[in-house]
């Protein structure tokens, strides 16, 4: 599948457009350490691509007397030194798709203020027709609700859309919604994204073609 016709695109945000994963991992690791809660790399990695309150709810028994909402607020108040720069090719791809008239959305597990801030920093917020956040859905990834909402709001059949995702939960959500999915290995090894239709190292491996269509030259 070297060339993919595209009538609409849905981007994940963390790890797909903006490289926030090092900062997020540091934040969740600090939260568990501050509460002397047992954790390992796999547990911290499980936050990737999912709504944080849902993940915290699965482990709230490790934090006696606290709720998932309390813990989320505490983690959000941390000052984390790790920078969160753009994924290579991200802004250029969004601008190029917009110039071709492709309707665009973001589907993120983050909350709205957080997402809006990152997209403004990337300089592409005004190019996106819709931003679907954790507050806009009742079921987070890997449930397809967010991607289905993006297709509905864009007025594009899911089967004619391409989703870009960096996390297994996001890939599962996009595929369940009926979209073609391109996995980006910014936070995961290629093997973790095996369910994606194509896998790329970053977004510089996406070439825009008239049609419009995407030529993908990735690792698989």
- 84-111 residue pLDDT tens: 789 999 999 999 999 999 999 999 998 8
Q: What pTM does this model have? A: 0.83
pLDDT tens profile 151-169: 999 999 999 999 999 999 9
User: On the CB side of 103, how many CA atoms lie within 13 Å of its CA?
Assistant: 16
pLDDT per residue over 6-51, tens digit each? 999 999 999 999 988 887 788 889 999 999 999 998 898 888 778 7
* Sequence spans of domains, the chain: 3-20+84-216, 21-76
Q: In this structure, which topology does domain 3-20+84-216 adopt according to CATH?
A: Rossmann fold (3.40.50)
pLDDT of residue 48: 76
Residues serving a catalytic function are: 12, 14
Does residue 1 carry a pLDDT above 80? Answer: no
Helical H segments across 52-166, by residue range:
52-59, 68-76, 90-99, 112-122, 145-154
DSSP state of 87: P
Distance CA 194, CA 177 (A): 17
pLDDT value of residue 28: 83
């Amino acid at each position: 599948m070297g060339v993919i016709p595209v009538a609409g695109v849905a981007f994940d945000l963390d790890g797909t457009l903006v490289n926030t994963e090092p900062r997020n991992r540091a934040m969740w690791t600090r939260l568990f350490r501050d509460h002397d809660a047992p954790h390992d790399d796999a547990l911290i990695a499980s936050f990737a691509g999912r709504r944080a309150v849902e993940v915290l709810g699965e482990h709230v028994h490790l934090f006696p007397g606290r709720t998932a909402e309390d813990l989320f607020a505490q983690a959000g108040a941390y000052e984390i030194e790790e920078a969160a720069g753009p994924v290579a090719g991200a802004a250029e791809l969004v601008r190029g798709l917009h110039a071709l008239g492709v309707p665009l959305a973001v589907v993120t597990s983050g909350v709205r203020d957080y997402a809006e801030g990152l997209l403004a920093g990337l300089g592409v917020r005004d190019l996106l027709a819709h931003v679907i956040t954790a507050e806009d859905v009742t079921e987070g990834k890997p449930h397809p609700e967010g991607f289905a909402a993006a297709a509905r709001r864009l007025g594009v059949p899911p089967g004619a859309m391409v989703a870009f995702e960096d996390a297994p939960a996001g890939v599962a959500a996009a595929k369940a919604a009926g979209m073609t999915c391109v996995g980006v290995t910014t936070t995961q090894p290629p093997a973790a994204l095996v369910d994606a239709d194509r896998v790329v190292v970053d977004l510089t491996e996406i070439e825009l073609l008239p049609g419009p269509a995407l030529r993908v030259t990735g690792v698989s």
